[in-house]
Structure 1
Amino acid sequence: MAKNILHMFSPLKHMSPFDVNMALDAGYDSVTPYIFVTLEDVTALVQDAMFSRSPKDAVRTAVFIGGKDAGLALDMMERFRATLLKPFEISAFADPAGSFTTAAAMVACVEKLLKKKKDKSLAKTKILIFGATGVVGYAAAVISALEGAEVTLAGHDGPERVQEKADDIKRRFGVDVRAIDTSTLEKKLATLQGVEVILCAAAAGVQVLPKACLAAAKSLLVVADVNAVPPAGIEGLALHDKGAELEGGALGIGPLAIGDVKYKTEAGLFQRMAASHKALSLDFRDAFVLARELV
């Protein structure tokens, strides 16, 4: 049987060792990183990967798209799909900075807790996302909006950057998300009114929500944070929390609880791609489907 070969593209100086390890443990025989890859490079690299093997062995070839830019990763996936040619199709999996699988795990954990403890689905749930200009926040916004949630992106430095993300989400996926200014404590407190779920994907070691904010958010049902570096992004939230009650009564999901599902999701998608008998094209939507099964 032909060996499983994985070509890993990163627009950055390095390919993530985390992703390399995950791919090898998932069953790939060969993993080759490519760095400083531009969007314009994708077509030629994919063609070389495709046409170097017979059609029957093409499915044993795959591409991974990393980096730290969700939009660029999605553009690279589009370029990848446009390059494929029957019967030489190969597989691809995009997960820039682990963001797609992390976001999928976070939203899946929140969805399960909402159903179990509050008898509520994501549809029409009012969700506020901190760290929305980052890759995890962006992907979580898209997943939630596609599930019918009413999503708002919080701008810690004003509304401009989050509005750009909201516009990008509308253009790519046809769903509406709001952008709002939370650059001061007063604006943040005003934004919290009516919010039912908070997803926190802010920078590591930055506390976004102190207990006073949690206490003031009377409608809040569930909060989740992916920051494992002290201090917690949400004050009072512990690393392994899976529904612990926080200040004000909201239920909290900690970063290591999310991380466990994220790890299994990324490993599972690598394994699925390595074992598949047909070419696959995997992104955050596939990650969310799997994460739902794992929580």
Structure 2
Amino acid sequence: MKKLLIQLDTDKRASTFDQVVAYDAGADNLIIHSEITKEEVEDIIYGAIFTRSPKKMKNTAVFIGGSDVEKGEKIMEAVEDVFFANFRVSVMLDSNGSNTTAAASVLKVKEEIDLAGCEVLILAGTGPVGVRAAALFAMEGASVTITSRSQEKADKKAEMIKEEYDLEKIKGVEAKTDADFIKAMKNKEVILSAGPPGINFISREMWKNEDSIKVMADINAVSPAGIEGIEPPADGDTIDGIKVFGALGIGSLKMKLHKKAVAELFKTNDLSLNAVEVYKLNEKL
């Protein structure tokens, strides 16, 4: 029986990247719906759960993608609302690569430092990757600070993460100026830049003057880097005594996690893969 992956993409053109990864992960055919809205989900999922017997339902799965993470989350909720009893299929959310990127970023940092009791700073931590990475770091026992240009937004996101993931050691700070970022870096052992492409947050001179830093990572592959001095290919390189990871170094693990996650969808019909579940898949790589 063929493995069918239903790709629900919120963009006008469904992601070619996600399609290629799906085939490489073992999907036989993709059923692609672009510009998907939550109102259209029910009929599509009914077609997925009523066409194969329960024992064979694992051969159908759903992947939710697109550039808009908020829309993707709503699609995920709509999909799961259709399921009942054993009439369901496995589903994965990775809009804009946010779950796999966050998981890979934290796992790379974890290779170099024990996160239990660690002080972590996430630049642009209120975005999709930053929020998920904050939760994963905190789950490993770290104390996490997320930055935003607005104190109100930083506080709101910190509280949301704590409530959604049942965590405690997460706080938000406003950071707009060099002085703000220097203050935020004080006594931090790990810094992750999770901002959008082409925005620099801290210069090399700024981070060189903070002796507590042991590991830094930057998900941005477009110049200028979020953390000046980290090149995209960096994969555990050492700069001025600090271990660093760039976008491509993180991306190699992100790809492995993405492929593994899609492959796992076809092993059972009851998986719901979000950031935490993707993160745990590292144990199976």
Q: What TM-score comes out, normalization by structure 1 length?
A: 0.89
1:282 aligns with 2:263: no
- Secondary structure, counterpart of 1:113 in structure 2: coil
- In the TM superposition, residue 77 of structure 1 has moved relative to its aligned partner by 3.1
The answer for unaligned runs of 5 or more in structure 1 is: 115-120
Question: Which residue number in structure 2 is paired with residue 181 of structure 1?
Answer: 174
Work out the CA distance in 1 between the residues paired with 2:209 and 2:6: 49
Structure 1 239/80 Cα, relative in aligned 2: closer, same or farther at 3 Å? Answer: same
Question: Which residue number in structure 2 is paired with residue 137 of structure 1?
Answer: 130
Structure 1 166/141 Cα, relative in aligned 2: closer, same or farther at 3 Å? Answer: same
1:159 aligns with 2:189: no
CA contact (8 A) 2:10 2:72 kept: no
- Secondary structure, counterpart of 2:32 in structure 1: strand
- Secondary structure, counterpart of 2:173 in structure 1: strand
CA contact (8 A) 2:122 2:147 kept: yes
Q: Which amino acid aligns with 2:83?
A: L
Question: Which residue number in structure 1 is paired with residue 34 of structure 2?
Answer: 35
- In the TM superposition, residue 134 of structure 1 has moved relative to its aligned partner by 2.2
- Secondary structure, counterpart of 2:112 in structure 1: helix
Work out the CA distance in 2 between the residues paired with 1:180 and 1:38: 34
Work out the CA distance in 2 between the residues paired with 1:132 and 1:106: 13
Structure 1 175/64 Cα, relative in aligned 2: closer, same or farther at 3 Å? Answer: same
- In the TM superposition, residue 222 of structure 1 has moved relative to its aligned partner by 0.5
Q: What TM-score comes out, normalization by structure 2 length?
A: 0.91
Work out the CA distance in 1 between the residues paired with 2:73 and 2:186: 33
CA contact (8 A) 1:69 1:135 kept: no
1:147 aligns with 2:140: yes
**Aligned match for 2:232, one of 229, 235, 239:** 239
Percent identity, aligned pairs only, is 34
CA contact (8 A) 2:3 2:59 kept: yes
Q: What does residue range 44-63 of structure 1 map to in structure 2 within 5 Å?
A: 44-63=43-62
1:251 aligns with 2:251: no
Q: Which runs of structure 1 show a deviation greater than 6 angstroms over 4 or more consecutive aligned residues?
A: none
- In the TM superposition, residue 18 of structure 1 has moved relative to its aligned partner by 0.6
Question: Which residue number in structure 1 is paired with residue 263 of structure 2?
Answer: 271
Q: Which amino acid aligns with 2:247?
A: P
- In the TM superposition, residue 75 of structure 1 has moved relative to its aligned partner by 4.3
CA contact (8 A) 2:181 2:202 kept: no
1:261 aligns with 2:253: yes
Q: Deviations over 1:32-59 (max 9, x none)?
A: 2222323343333322221122223211
Aligned-pair Cα RMSD in Å: 2.0
